[in-house]
Chains A and B, each alone.
Chain A
Amino acid sequence: MTSGDDVVRVRQLVRSKAQSIRLSLVDQTKLVTAASELARNTLVHGGSGSARIEVVQRGGRSGIRAVFSDTGPGIADLDLALTPGWTSGGGLGLGLSGAKRLVDEFDIDTEVGRGTSVAITKWSR
């Protein structure tokens, strides 16, 4: 991902994958919104990065897993970054904290100077 167009492409890709495992409309919307927030974060903070979207299975349930990685500056204070309303830039501070609330699983891996990788998963009901 290098530009705003790619964020739109990620949204569309996540949407079509979510439809393929028949996530409910509300769950689809939550997942795509979370992906949109994280894809934008990747671009804004990492400069550029990559997104990987895949269908996953566990215990008879299907899910969509999306991983956003960048090689940007990383996050120094993770707790602070996950606080709703706290923002490093001009945003609303809902990117990370909001995305976390919208999905079933949320894992973040970050190292200052190395980059950040965020993985989210949403399971079908």
Chain B
Amino acid sequence: MAENDGQQLLELLLADEQALLDQWLRAASAHLQGRTAAAELERAFRDLLSALSKAVTSGGLDLDHEAYGEVRALLSELSRDRARRGFTPSETAVSVFCLKDALFELATRTGRSAEVLIVSSRWVDALGLLTFDSYVRAREEVIAEQSEQLMELSTPVVKLWEGVVAVPLIGTLDSARTQIVMEKLLQTLVDTGSEHAIIDITGVPAVDTEVAQHLLKTVVAARLMGAQCTISGIRPQIAQTIVALGIEFGDIPTKANLADALLHALRGSGVEVVRRRGEGRR
């Protein structure tokens, strides 16, 4: 069967928009179980139908045709909305597949040939896949946003003493996160006028070359700004990595733990910590 027949038939079907819309709404509502307001769904489907009939008229059945621009935009808007509201991908795609039910019913009632069914079925499947793709894209956006927020949350720069700030790093460090933390640390030095910074990596299980390089660069950058930076809590495995990778730690001050690093920073700023006579364990 020629593509052209299918197109003409579809045009016919789309011409009776109101009947089709009612059918489509009825089929889709059954799946959504009231999770979307009826008026909202009707508006979305009505827009989509009119965009579809325009697209078929000038672009035929080829979804890649530029005439489908509006359809794509509407579908991705629908998917994004559903993704954010926690619908599953199949719940989202089924709304589009319900158009098939509506088309079939209308075709049967008006006595159209079986060939129309095949063509329209293929066409709706393609629309469904498009919806699925935009749903996945929308979800990825949501995940990216969340991980960005998480990154902000997971990297506090804390003040330990007048002029001493620290950033306790926890979890796996990737290049992007390390860069963000380091920028934040350096900015805190400026904002608080602190001349000592401590990067504590006790909670970091492993580092790769790139992350190790970022740590080093931060120490050098802090030095350029006129501040001292100490790295504390290097685990044996990380020390192994640093040596094995041949990364030059040079004259970067490192301390076994955060307490030693703080003591080092305090001494550097002229503060001596002493125990009062007769107190304490020693």
Contact = CB atoms under 8 A, between A and B. Distances in A.
A125 B176 contact: yes
B162 interface: no
B183 interface: yes
Interface residues of A, number: 3
Measured as residues with beta carbon below 8 angstroms from the partner, the interface class of chain B is under 10
Interface in A41-71: none
A42 B209 CA distance: 35
A125 B174 CA distance: 14
B158 to A, nearest CB: 22
A99 to B, nearest CB: 17
A26 B183 contact: yes
- Mostly helix, strand, loop or mixed at chain A's interface? helix
Nearest to B180: A24
Contacts of A26: 179, 183
A26 B186 CA distance: 12
A125 B177 CA distance: 12
Interface in B160-194: 176, 179, 183
A26 B176 CA distance: 13
A125 B183 CA distance: 15
Interface in A76-125: 125
Contacts of B183: 25-26
Interface in A1-58: 25-26
Contacts of A125: 176
A95 to B, nearest CB: 20
A22 to B, nearest CB: 14
Contacts of B179: 26
Contacts of A25: 183
A26 B214 CA distance: 14
A27 to B, nearest CB: 10
Nearest to B137: A60
B145 to A, nearest CB: 13
A26 B179 CA distance: 10
A60 to B, nearest CB: 9
Nearest to B148: A125
Nearest to B186: A26
Nearest to A125: B176
A26 B183 CA distance: 8
B51 to A, nearest CB: 23
A125 B176 CA distance: 9
A25 to B, nearest CB: 8
Nearest to B183: A26
A25 B183 CA distance: 10
Interface of B: 176, 179, 183
4 contacts: A25-B183, A26-B179, A26-B183, A125-B176
The 4 closest A-B pairs by CB, nearest first: A26-B183, A125-B176, A26-B179, A25-B183
